[in-house]
Amino acid sequence: MKNSLTLWATHRAQLQVWFEKFTPEQLNHIPTGFSNNLIWNLGHVLVTQQALVYRLSGLDVTVPAIITDAYKKGTRPEAVIDTPSIQQIQQLLLHTTEQTLLDAEKGVFKEFQPYTTLLGFQLQSVEEAIQFNTYHEALHLGIMMQIRKFL
């Protein structure tokens, strides 16, 4: 599991660049032909990781419900996200990464509820959830790279 977590944490560190490179207006812009924006993708990977790794392990998520509700599977951007909320997502991406690494080291992920994703991936363990989550975050990074071409 350590290698999977290291890969994921490295990817998460790279996501921080998006907050530095783009203005709040750019993070909120939805280009023609897209159904979401950069900040929605960043919020979505945040809440998805919490659902896959923590909720399926029977543990509480550390992201506020208001953020989970705004960025969970099946949502879309519904309003402009202000600077304090953008900063909160940025901080939560850092915090949840650090917390997940700590929790894995402490061995808190003892149980896991098997889950089949919409793409048909069958997750049987927290390690598989972490691996799938990294794949999921990479998919959204690809979408973000497409969106940035229109900014």
Q: Residue 75 has what pLDDT?
A: 98
Q: Residue 27 has what pLDDT?
A: 98
Q: Residue 78 has what pLDDT?
A: 94
Tokens of 65: 């419900």
Q: For residues 27 and 90, is the Cβ–Cβ distance under 8 A?
A: no
Q: Per-10-residue mean pLDDT for the chain, 151 residues long? A: 91 93 98 98 98 98 97 96 98 97 97 96 98 97 97 95
| Three-state secondary structure call for residue 122 | strand
| Among the four given CATH numbers 3.40.50.1000, 3.40.10.10, 1.20.120.450, 3.40.50.150, the one describing domain 1-149 | 1.20.120.450
Q: Residue 117 has what pLDDT?
A: 96
Is the pTM here over 0.75, yes or no?
yes
Q: Residue 110 has what pLDDT?
A: 97
| List of residues 6+ apart from 134 with CB closer than 8 A | 4, 7, 8, 11
Q: Residue 61 has what pLDDT?
A: 97
Where does residue 74 fall: left (phi above 0), alpha (psi -120 to 50 degrees), or beta otherwise? Answer: left
Whole-angstrom CA distances from 8 to 30, 34, 47 are 27, 26, 15
- Residue ranges of domains in the chain: 1-149
Q: For residues 5 and 58, is the Cβ–Cβ distance under 8 A?
A: no
Q: Residue 1 has what pLDDT?
A: 83
CB atoms within 10 A of CB 139: 13
